[in-house]
Amino acid sequence: MLATIQYNSRKLQIDLSQPLDISMPLRASTSNVNAWYIDEPKIEPVKFDDDIISVAEGAVVNFNSIQFNPHAHGTHTECVGHITKKVHSINQHLKQFFFLAEVITVAPEHIKKDTVISKAQLQFALGNKKRDAIVIRTMPNTNEKLSQQYSHTNWTYLEEDAIKFLVKKGIKHLLIDLPSVDREEDGGELKAHKAFWNYHGKLRKDATITELIYVPNQVEDGEYFLNLQIAPFENDASPSKPILYKVLE
């Protein structure tokens, strides 16, 4: 199903029958992706006294409760409320859901004991392109990312100058296949988060960071139309389901 969309001054043609889901599924399993030193998600039927509300246990419906942390257990989209004393909700600040995005693939650079994404790498990948969103796929890219246990691994992160470059380019929505844009252990500095949301100035309340995506290898680098879907949680972050549509020539 082809659709022509007027987006700013451009007419974009996309195929709605070819969505590219770059979210991770959330499973009640120790093999679910995990970060930040907590246990795996739990999905369990409610129990009333001796009754287990599950069709398999004789009930007429399945009635599960779910326990998880959006930051640790899968694809999630967060707003500036993630790092501010004042409460800011992703549900209140993300009010548009379609954006022009660029998918890029980056092989992190080694600096001492760390691996980083640098300003120079982003400059090379984006060039003069004008985009609302950037989707960063890091190398190596295998489906092991869907079950990676990230705690105590010192994952790749973005240098502060790289984030400042994205802000200067007008990027409002940053999506990446890592648990955080910052170093796992940085003494609470959160340089990348703070730079992206302009923490020490006028807050970019309409800007979002989406972490723990997974971009399959068959998704080519290039221009896409992004549908950034969230659950309506009144929280700094929500589980999310970013969908890409290739922009046709």
pLDDT digits (tens, 9 = 90+) for 82-124: 999 999 999 999 999 999 999 999 999 999 999 999 999 999 9
Q: Please check whether residue 34 is in contact with residue 151, taking contact to mean a CB–CB distance below 8 angstroms.
A: yes
Please write the tens of the pLDDT for every residue from 122-172: 999 999 999 999 999 999 999 999 999 999 999 999 999 999 999 999 999
Indicate the helix (H) or strand (E) that contains 7. strand 2-7
Concatenate the DSSP letters of all residues of 60-91 into one string. Answer: SS--EEEE--TTTSS-EEE-GGGS-SS---HH
Q: What integer best gives the mean pLDDT of the chain?
A: 97
Q: Tell me: pLDDT of 199 over 80.
A: yes
Domain chopping of the chain, boundaries: 2-25+70-246
User: If you ran DSSP here, which 8-state letter would residue 120 be given?
Assistant: H
Q: Residue 80: what pLDDT?
A: 98
- Chain Cα centroid distance, residue 236: 13
CA distance 27 to 33: 9
For residues 132 and 99, what is the distance between their CA atoms, to the nearest angstrom?
A: 6
Using DSSP, state whether 100 is helix, strand or coil: strand
Percent of the chain with pLDDT over 90: 97
> What average pLDDT does this structure show over 24-40?
98
Whether the per-residue pLDDT at 249 is higher than 80: the answer is no
Question: What pTM, to 2 d.p., does this model score?
Answer: 0.97
Please spell the DSSP secondary structure of 161-205, one letter per residue. Answer: HHHHHHHHTT--EEEESSS-SS-SSSTT--HHHHHHTTTTSS--T
**In the chain, what percentage of residues exceed pLDDT 70?**
100
CA distance 227 to 34: 25
Q: What is the pLDDT of residue 9?
A: 87
pLDDT at 57: 96
Locate 77 and state its tokens: 């989209």
Q: Would you state the pLDDT for residue 51?
A: 95
Task: Report angle CA 147, 150, 153 to the nearest 5 degrees.
Answer: 135
- Position 8 scores a pLDDT of 87
**Cα angle: 63, vertex 69, 75; to 5 degrees:** 95
The second-level CATH assignment, the architecture, of 2-25+70-246 is 3-Layer(bba) Sandwich (3.50)
Single out the residue of 74, 71, 66 nearest to residue 21, CA to CA. Answer: 74
Residue 70 has pLDDT above 80, yes or no: yes
